[in-house]
Amino acid sequence: MAELNSVKVDLLHVGKNIPVPDLSFLCDQSLLETKKSYWKERIGNIKKVVAPMVDQSELAFRQYMRDHGADLCFSPMIHAHLFTTDATYRKVSLSTCKNEQEKLFIVQFCGNDPLTLLMASRYVEGYCNGVDLNLGCPQLIAKKGNYGAYLQEKRELISEMVNKVYLHCKLPISVKIRVQDTVEDTIAYAGMLENAGASMITIHGRTRDMRGPNTGVADWKHIAAVKKVLNIPIIANGNIQVPGDVERCLETTGADAVMSAEGILFNPLLFENSFEPCYVIAREYLECAKKFDGNISAVRAHIFRICHHTLIRHDDLRIKMSVITSFPDFEEIITELERRTGATEEEYKKGKELFAQYTPHPSASLKDFIEATPYWFSKPYIRPIIDSTKQCESEYRIQKRAEIQKQADATGLSKRQIRKKERRRIDFLRVRDAKQSFPPCKRCAQPASSSCCNSSCRKCCRLICMVDFLNCPVHKYVAEKLKSYRDAFLATQNV
């Protein structure tokens, strides 16, 4: 496993001081040709790609994945309208660092207006290697917001959006789409995007309706058909879960590279064709999150997935994970998971041998194989196959229902009452844990400001700065400005 330097890195944001982009800028023919060929010239060194994932492909995770085999990373999906109108959203939604462009980085936007997309794209010039238009998000919020995969019937609008960025932005534009109902329509859709100016296309092998419990299996045939027709790089997406899937996808589709989303969330070592205990991976990712100032909610989501198969066996740690708000708390849970697992070196070697034995076969069930391997390894989450005639339940739900039934039998309470008490308990823990504790003021014992250089509350800090002729940058007290108040105060004290 890679070793990480724990020194924090200076982050870059598209700040408030960035001027509003000039939308009248027009690329000359030389720049257009350079952009069109940009990814074609670099795709030879790109095979493994980190997908754009809302709140999950943040800087810390991107850097972690680069240390473990990723050749190209996408930002989380960013809402173009909010990015152009809200400076705070711009800062929060996109973080990068000084050398990320050298490692190839694309910023992805969603939206439905050509000028807004252009403005957002021009804002990130100098921060990334390219921009990407999300035409693949199948979630219902995308339907409500009229973006993502729900734009795919509006081909003229899509073409105008891509062409606007192609003609007026200095960065190359790529697009991420989903397959259509027929291979012919998928080819026509991708061809339209190439003609509009797209320099690279990512194709997810599932249709718009294949999401959640109806996710199903991605169809690589569409991707292979598109690759034979188009002249720009094609990235394949879908069904990348276990070691060897990247190579199988490249061979089957002929694609230039392969993108993974859920597969690398549950096993971040997938691109290295490796499996390791979840607490080893989680601890290493946590160090990366500290270094790159990871957001607590993103860190929590990552550790939930990395340790998924272990946490469902330790419900108390799973509940605690949902309410904690600090890095030391995460470290404590990871350490406890390792202690409870108690795996020996021999068990570790046997686990590694089991994973190495997996070979895909039509008669073999991946779900059965994953269930037969040690639960304390990070490994794929296999969605249950939906049978419309039966209720589908996860392992966690079945286990939780049995626990509730046991409590109901022991207490005489209804299952509904027990669930209500549990929700209230978790809400209480969440509120209690979120409360920040402050050191006492050294003068009056009230809570002091956390960063005050005088270790005082605001009122006492003013008095200390005034009497001792000091400055406090946190409370913005300047000794020189308090001089007249100081003279008056000392006069009343007969000093």
Burial 196-226 (b: 16+ CB within 10 A, else e): bbbbbbbbbbbbbebbeeeebebbbebbbbb
User: How far does the chain reach from its first CA to its final CA, in angstroms?
Assistant: 66
Instruction: At 333, list the tokens.
Output: 């849970």
Please work out, in degrees rounded to the nearest 5, the angle formed at the alpha carbon of residue 80 by the alpha carbons of 74 and 85. 135
255 and 236 Cβ atoms separated by less than 8 Å: yes
Tell me which residue of 167, 123, 173 sits closest to 28, measured CA to CA: 167
Q: Is the dihedral of CA 95, 10, 294, 272 positive or negative?
A: positive
CA dihedral (453, 458, 460, 463) in degrees, to 10, reads 90
Instruction: At 331, list the tokens.
Output: 């470290």
User: Is 493 exposed, middle or buried (CB count within 10 Å of its CB: 0-12, 13-18, 19+)?
Assistant: exposed
How far apart (Å, rounded) are the C-alpha atoms in residues 128 and 96?
Answer: 9
How far apart (Å, rounded) are the C-alpha atoms in residues 18 and 180?
Answer: 39
Would you call 465 a catalytic residue per the annotation? no
123 and 21 Cβ atoms separated by less than 8 Å: yes
User: Is 266 exposed, middle or buried (CB count within 10 Å of its CB: 0-12, 13-18, 19+)?
Assistant: buried
How far apart (Å, rounded) are the C-alpha atoms in residues 23 and 315?
Answer: 53
Q: Which of 137, 441, 452, 461 is catalytic?
A: 137
Pairing of strands 11-12, 48-50: unpaired
How far apart (Å, rounded) are the C-alpha atoms in residues 129 and 125?
Answer: 8
- Which residues have a Cβ under 8 Å from the Cβ of 385 and sit 6 or more positions away? none
Tell me which residue of 3, 162, 172, 148 sits closest to 72, measured CA to CA: 172
Known catalytic residues?
A: 137
